[in-house]
Amino acid sequence: MAMQNIYDNQTFFEGYMQLRENNANANELFEKPALFSLLPDLTGKAVLDLGCGFGDHSKAYVSMGAASVLGIDISENMIQEAQRKNSLPGITYIKLPMEELDRVEGTFDVVVSSLAFHYVKDLAVVLRMIHEKTVPGGTLVFSQENPLCTPFSEGERWTRDENGNKLYMNLSGYGHEGERKTRWFVDGVIKYHRMFSTIINALVEAGFVVERMNEPLPSPELLEKYPCYSDLLHKPDFLLVKARRS
């Protein structure tokens, strides 16, 4: 199975890291707080961080009491950053695509994945592997791009008024699932669009019980500080799901 490793494209990697250094980015303001709010008590737990990136989440899980954290990522750049910036006793980082999760030994109490599933071609296969690596009653928490975002590949995403203000999102091709190529720092970034129902059904068929979903929106206080995020009221950027292995 061909797997994309866009974070080892140096131009992409540098652009992404610059974005994450801005504390007002959507990851810090919306996705990360929502993800952490769905986590169970991590005290004494074995945690698997799928698509761990540069390891900031893995480090946080240890600070929340996790006994051990295994972070895996397909990107050599990300693993090197994780080892350099976010190493702690109890954390292990390995370069491995989540599509090869069956190579990992042992099981985990909690599996977490932040903004990686929309890069996975066959999510159903990966979810079945996650189920095998999760203890009975264990928890899976993940975030991904909202399925309202992923159909988009080209053209104008928004209809605007004469002053350029966003009126509403242009949505097309929602029911046409599969690969999308788009530009984000570089051309040809591959993501995969799936409908909400496809995602939830894949979880159920893999053996998970969905416990909670979240599509984080800006509060009035945040909008007062960052009015640029008002477009999220038309189209949430993220989908988050908490599920339990039955």
**What are the chain's domains?**
6-146+193-245 (3.40.50.150)
Long-range CB pairs of 123-130 (<8 Å, 24+ gap) are 123/192, 123/194, 123/199, 123/202, 124/202, 124/205, 124/206, 125/99, 126/98, 126/99, 126/101, 127/202, 127/203, 127/205, 127/206, 127/208, 128/206, 128/207, 129/98, 129/101, 129/102, 130/50, 130/101, 130/206
Q: If pLDDT is split at 50, 70 and 90, which confidence band does 184 have? A: low
Reduce the DSSP state of residue 155 to 3 states and report it: coil
Pairing verdict, β 238-245 and 68-73: unpaired
Q: If pLDDT is split at 50, 70 and 90, which confidence band does 20 have? A: low
Quote the CA–CA distance of 165 and 41 in Å, as a whole number.
43
pLDDT at 17 over 80: no
Q: Is 0.85 surpassed by the pTM of this model?
A: yes
Mean pLDDT of all residues belonging to the chain: 91
Question: Which residue intervals of the chain are DSSP H helices?
Answer: 10-20, 26, 32-37, 56-63, 76-85, 123-133, 196-206, 220-225
Model pLDDT, residue 138: 98
Range in 21-25, 148-152, 238-242 the model is least confident about: 21-25
Quote the CA–CA distance of 118 and 194 in Å, as a whole number.
8
Q: Stretch 134-162: mean pLDDT, rounded?
A: 93
Reduce the DSSP state of residue 64 to 3 states and report it: coil
Percent above pLDDT 90 for the chain:
78
Q: If pLDDT is split at 50, 70 and 90, which confidence band does 182 have? A: confident
